[in-house]
Structure 1
C-alpha cells in the first residue's frame, strides 16, 4: 500500500470498526506511512497471534528509538532526548525493569481502591455539570473530556486549585493548531511545574503517585525520570479514557439491551467494561517495535532494524481471539485482549482506566436512567487526529 495524504491505514476507522482497508491489509503486511520525503515504510501486524508475538518478545524487538546511525538498538548509555527520560515505552530491559519496578507500587489494586472515592466525587461533579447545562447537552465536552484529567491529577497529586491550569498547559503543549513557539512555551511551563512539585514531594511525600515513588525509592529515581513518568501517565491516560467514555456511552445507547450490565453488580459491570474496551480499542497502536535481529513471523522475514506497527483494534477483532468478535456482547467472559498492550510494556495504568470507566458508566445511568441520543439521525462526529480514537461531540437528552 502506498502513502498519500489520507490517514495511515492503521488509524482508519468506520464508526466503531476498523476500516475495510485495514481489514484487507492481512495478518502481516508492508505499508507506507506519510508521503514524499516524510514517507516511512513499516510492517503492519494485524492478526491477534502476530501482535501478541511481537509485543511479547522484548528480546528480539525493541521499543527504544534511535537518534543516531551509530546508536545500537537496545544499547546502554546512548543519547536519549530529555523529553523521553522516564518514558517507559522508550526503555528496554534492564533500564525498563528498574524503572517499572520503581513506578509499579503507585498503581497497585490497593492504591486504586483508595482512589475510588475521589474518582466517584470527580464523576459526580461532572454529572452535576451535565445536569445543570440542561437537556440536550454535550456529554463529551462536559464529562468525557473533563473526568480523565481530574482523575490523573488526583493520581499524581496535583492540588485541586492547580488542576485547570495544569491540564491547560498540558493540552496547549500538544495542540498542533498553535505555533511551535507557543507549544514549546507551554511545554516548558508544564515541565517546570512538575519539577517544582517533585521537589516539594521529596521534602514532604504525599499519597499520590509522586509521593509514593519518592517515599519508597527516593534515592534511586531522578527528578527527570519522575517528571517523564508523570508526562507518560497523563499522555497514556487522558485521550484514551476520554475516548472510551464517549464511545462507550454511544455504543451502549446503540445497544440499549446491554445497558443493564453497567447498572448491575460489580462483576457484571466489570465484565461490561472489559468488553467495551476490547470492542472499541481506542488506541490505534502502541510504540512501534524495532527488530533487533532478523525475525521470521507468519512466514515473513522482518529484517534487523525494520519497524513493526501493531494494530490493536484489528487484533481485538480477530476471530482467533474469540468467535463473533465484531459483535458487542457485554455478558461475555473476559478474554486476553491487547487493548492495553501485552508483555513487559502492558499499560501500567490499566487498573485505573478500568476503574474510572466503571465509575463513569455506572454513575451516568444511575443518575440518568432515561439517557438517550438527542438527535439519533444526526451524523456522529469522530475524532481521528487525536492520539486515541474518540468522539468530538455527543449530544444527549434524559
Structure 2
C-alpha cells in the first residue's frame, strides 16, 4: 500500500476534492504527517463513522501529528494547550460536562422559536443588499452578516462590535498566517470575550452568555473558552457554506431554480450542499488511545488519524453517483456536521439559517448571477474552513 506524502488541500475544481484524494483506492491510507510521523487518512464513509463513534480515538489533539505543516505547533511546543471551556477539543467526561450545559439552548424546539427572528435578519440583510445595488460581494453583504448577527443575538455579543471578532476569527483560521500570527489573533479574540464575560457577570441580560455567567457552573476562564468556541463556530462555518453554496448554485442554474421555486426542496438542498461541498476539509482529527483494527489494517496507539470529509461524503457505497449535485437527493447521513458525541452542537441552527437563507436570496434576486467568470472567484483552500474569499455577483 503506497504511503501518501502529505495531505493535499489545493483543489483543481472549486467544488471537487483534490484529484489525488479522489483517485485513491480503498478507504484507509497510510500517510506521512507534517512532522515526519506515520499516520492514517480515512476516505471511506463506514470507516469514518467507525472512528468518530469509537472512544478509543481521542479528540484532545495532544500528541497528534499535524496533517499539514501549517497546523504544526511552534518549535519546542510538543502539545497543544486546550483553553478551559474549549470543549470541542476534549474527551469525556470533561466534554460531556460542558455540552450538557449547552444542549438545550440549541435544540430543535429552541430553533423553532428562533425561526421568525432569523427570517427577519435574512430579510433585513437582503433589503440592505438591494439598497446597495449591483454588483456586490455576496460574502460581505449576505454570507457573513447573517450567521454573525444571529449568533451575536443568541450569545449576547454586541453586533456593533463585530469587527473585533470577525477580523480576528478570519486571521486565526487562515493557514496562510504563521502559527504565531494565528495564535495572536486567537488571543485577541479570547481577550475581547473575557472582557465581555466580565460585563455579563456585572450586568447580565437576556442572552445565553448572561445565563451561563450567572448560573454558577462555569468560572470566568471556562466561560471565556465556551464563548470563544460558540462565537467562532457559530458564524465562520455557516458563512462559508452560504458563500460557497451560493457559488455552486449559481453554477448550476437548474438546481438554483428548484431551490427558488419549490419550498419542499430547501431541507434536502441544505444536506446535499453540506455533502457536496464539505467545507471542513482538514479533519476531523483523532489520536488512537490503543491499537485499533480498521479496514484490514491496525492503527497503532498514538497514531494520528485524519478523516477526509470531502472524499468521505463522496463515497459511492453510501451516496450513488456522488459527483452529481442534486438538491433533491436525500443526503441526511452526510458527515459535514461530524458524527458521534462530537457532532456539531449548533447543527440545527446552521441548518435553519441555510434552509431559510438560500431560497430567500434566490427569490429576492431571481436574476442573480456571477459578476466575474467562475474561474476568477477567489477561494480559501488554505483556510481551516474551505470557502470563497469573495463572491462578486450582479442581478
Q: Same fold (TM over 0.5)?
A: yes
Change in CA separation of 1:152 and 1:229 when aligned onto 2, cut-off 3 Å? same
Change in CA separation of 1:185 and 1:324 when aligned onto 2, cut-off 3 Å? closer
In the alignment, which residue of structure 1 is the partner of 2:271?
A: 274
- Measure the CA separation in 2 of the matches of 1:171 and 1:389: 12
In the alignment, which residue of structure 2 is the partner of 1:198?
A: 197
In the alignment, which residue of structure 2 is the partner of 1:307?
A: 304
In the alignment, which residue of structure 2 is the partner of 1:109?
A: 108
Q: CA deviation at 1:389?
A: 1.1
In the alignment, which residue of structure 2 is the partner of 1:248?
A: 245
In the alignment, which residue of structure 1 is the partner of 2:315?
A: 318
Change in CA separation of 1:13 and 1:377 when aligned onto 2, cut-off 3 Å? closer
Count of residue pairs brought into register by the alignment = 379
- Measure the CA separation in 2 of the matches of 1:305 and 1:110: 40
- Measure the CA separation in 2 of the matches of 1:178 and 1:19: 22
Change in CA separation of 1:24 and 1:93 when aligned onto 2, cut-off 3 Å? same
The Cα offsets for residues 294-341 of structure 1, whole Å up to 9 and x where unpaired, read as 011000000011110001111111012121111111112243111100
Change in CA separation of 1:118 and 1:176 when aligned onto 2, cut-off 3 Å? same
- Measure the CA separation in 2 of the matches of 1:265 and 1:355: 17
Equivalent position SS for 2:305: strand
- Measure the CA separation in 1 of the matches of 2:331 and 2:185: 41
Which residue, out of 41, 58, 64, partners 2:60?
Answer: 64
For residues 235-384 of structure 1, the aligned pairs below 5 Å read 235-264=232-261, 267-376=264-373, 378-384=375-381
- 2:154·2:208 contact (CA, 8 Å) conserved in 1? yes
- Measure the CA separation in 2 of the matches of 1:141 and 1:162: 16
- 1:374·1:395 contact (CA, 8 Å) conserved in 2? yes
In the alignment, which residue of structure 2 is the partner of 1:48?
A: 45
Q: CA deviation at 1:143?
A: 2.0
Q: CA deviation at 1:157?
A: 0.9
- 1:341·1:347 contact (CA, 8 Å) conserved in 2? yes
Change in CA separation of 1:41 and 1:125 when aligned onto 2, cut-off 3 Å? farther
- 1:43·1:307 contact (CA, 8 Å) conserved in 2? yes
- Measure the CA separation in 1 of the matches of 2:171 and 2:19: 34
For residues 153-172 of structure 1, the aligned pairs below 5 Å read 153-172=152-171
Q: CA deviation at 1:188?
A: 4.2
Equivalent position SS for 1:333: coil
Change in CA separation of 1:327 and 1:369 when aligned onto 2, cut-off 3 Å? same
Equivalent position SS for 1:84: coil
Return 5+ residue gaps in structure 2 as ranges.
65-77
In the alignment, which residue of structure 2 is the partner of 1:72?
A: none
Q: CA deviation at 1:280?
A: 1.0
In the alignment, which residue of structure 2 is the partner of 1:74?
A: none
- Give the TM-score normalised by structure 2: 0.86
1:86 aligns with 2:81: no
The Cα offsets for residues 105-136 of structure 1, whole Å up to 9 and x where unpaired, read as 22112322333344333333432343333322
Equivalent position SS for 1:263: helix
Q: CA deviation at 1:82?
A: 6.2
Change in CA separation of 1:153 and 1:82 when aligned onto 2, cut-off 3 Å? farther
- Measure the CA separation in 1 of the matches of 2:180 and 2:264: 49
- Measure the CA separation in 2 of the matches of 1:13 and 1:156: 38
In the alignment, which residue of structure 1 is the partner of 2:140?
A: 141
- Measure the CA separation in 2 of the matches of 1:329 and 1:377: 20
Moved more, 89-98 or 172-181: 172-181
- 1:144·1:243 contact (CA, 8 Å) conserved in 2? yes
Which residue, out of 216, 225, 244, partners 2:222?
Answer: 225
Equivalent position SS for 1:391: coil
Moved more, 164-173 or 180-189: 180-189
- 1:281·1:312 contact (CA, 8 Å) conserved in 2? yes
- Measure the CA separation in 2 of the matches of 1:397 and 1:358: 22
The Cα offsets for residues 172-217 of structure 1, whole Å up to 9 and x where unpaired, read as 55566778887666544432332232234345543433134345xx
Return 5+ residue gaps in structure 1 as ranges.
69-78
